[in-house]
Amino acid sequence: MARSATPMVKLKPDVHARLQEIAREDDQTMGELVGVLLEKYERERFWKGVADDLEKFRADTDAYQRYRDEFTEWDNQTTASLAAEPPYEPEEA
C-alpha cells in the first residue's frame, strides 16, 4: 500500500517558532492554525477586492449615478407598495 505524501512548506525559523507557540497556546496543531489563518486571509483578501471594486465604480461618476438613481427608483417602488400595509406587530407568546 502506497503512503500519501505529506505536504512540506519551508518556513523561516522565527516564523516556525511563532506558529508553533501560537498553536500550542491555542491548543491546536500547526496545520489547524495554518488553515484558520488561510481562511482569515482569504476573507480579508475578498473584502479588500470588494472595497477596491467599489472605489473604482464610484470613480465612474456617470455609472455610479445611474446605479444610485435605479436604487432610489426601486426603493420608492417598494416603499410605496408597503405604505398601505398596517405596521407589523409580532404576536405575543
Domain ranges of the chain: 14-80
**Measured between alpha carbons, how far is 59 from 61 in angstroms, rounded to an integer?**
6
Give SS3 for 52: helix
Question: For residue 36, how many other CB atoms are within 10 A of its CB?
Answer: 14
What band does 4 get if pLDDT is binned at 50, 70 and 90?
low
Q: What does the pLDDT look like over 43-62, one tens digit per residue?
A: 999 999 999 999 999 999 99
Give the DSSP letter string of 25-58.
HTTS-HHHHHHHHHHHHHHHHHHHHHHHHHHHHH
